[in-house]
Amino acid sequence: MTLSETGIPLTFTNQIAVVTGAASGLGLAISKKLASLGAKLVLLDKEIDSLTTQPALAEMTRYAVDITNEEKVSQTIQKIGDQFGQIDILINSAGITGITNIKSHETDASNVRQVFDVNFMGSYFTSKHVLPWMLKKRYGRILHIASIAGKEGNAGMLAYSSSKAAVIGMTKVQGKEYAESGITVNALAPAVVQTALVDAMPPEQVRYMTDKIPMKRCGTLDEVANLSIYIVSPMNSFTTGFTFDLTGGRATY
């Protein structure tokens, strides 16, 4: 159920929303929900052609972008701003886990860098170049998708946990920096959510994470999308620099 279905008016009409990692998983679920509520979407993903198979998103503006390349990100954001004259929402959902189920002394530095480049640097680049457009209107909503792993650390997931902790740290900084500008910057920290990314992980790693959840199940894409919609809505006007919990009771702080 979305907020609009509860009788609370919720619309994103005339709002321009940029979503990274839009071709699959959390990004795809959030994009569909935003589209259903009237947002004009700009979808960014390295595998953007797969979006043509999504009827609700096939006509949306799409860019194939490597978010680890700041020059490409800057050029793409400039094109979006020039085309629409505004950017109201940024949702950073692009992410990778990297190699998991491996202890710290066995990790490979190149893999750790790759995970940081996508999960942290990608979110940094997009928010850096979107913020000036939001400042022009003195309005904006930025949502960085983090993880419970960034709060607590998951054994066997050094790169992923550390990169998501960095995303949470960036959220706190940006929330404070733009608190008086009409722009909110928040993060969402899900526990394990049933996605293709999780399906590709070793079963023992998924069990390790699921066993920590008091509800003893994975989160769903609908649950992620519904909370995300509230976070980037006009109704969320007095919360910034915060990391929202979506963990089935695992994190109560």
Domain region containing 196 = 3-241
**Residues above pLDDT 70, as percent of the chain:** 95
pLDDT tens for each residue of 86-135: 999 999 999 999 999 899 999 999 999 999 999 999 999 999 999 999 99
pTM over 0.85: yes
- Residue 164: which residues within 8 A CB-CB, separation 6 or more? 119, 146, 147, 149, 150, 189
Residue 250 in this model has a pLDDT that exceeds 90: no
Give the number of domains in the chain. Answer: 1
Residue 91 is assigned to a structural domain of this protein: yes
Q: What is the mean pLDDT of residues 130-159?
A: 96
Residue 58 is assigned to a structural domain of this protein: yes
Residue 249 is assigned to a structural domain of this protein: no
Residue 30 is assigned to a structural domain of this protein: yes
Residue 217 is assigned to a structural domain of this protein: yes
pLDDT tens for each residue of 151-195: 999 899 999 999 999 999 999 999 999 999 999 999 999 998 887
Residue 248 is assigned to a structural domain of this protein: no
**Tokens in use for 235?**
């109704």
pLDDT tens for each residue of 37-61: 999 999 999 887 777 677 778 789 9
Residue 14 is assigned to a structural domain of this protein: yes
| Residues 186, 133: Cα–Cα separation, whole Å | 18
Give the per-residue pLDDT at 80. 98
Residue 246 is assigned to a structural domain of this protein: no
Can you give the CATH number for the domain in which 100 is found? 3.40.50.720
pLDDT band at 209 (very low <50, low <70, confident <90, very high): confident
Q: What value does the mean pLDDT of the chain take?
A: 92
Helix axes 109-116, 158-177, angle to 10 degrees: 30
- Residue 142: which residues within 8 A CB-CB, separation 6 or more? 89, 90, 91, 92, 127, 130, 131, 134, 174, 183, 184, 185, 186, 232
- Report, as residue numbers or ranges, the catalytic residues: 160
Give the per-residue pLDDT at 3. 52
Give the per-residue pLDDT at 1. 40
Report how far Cα 126 is from the mean position of its chain's Cα atoms. Answer: 11
Residue 6 in this model has a pLDDT that exceeds 70: no
- Helix locations, 106-157, DSSP H: 109-116, 122-137, 148-152
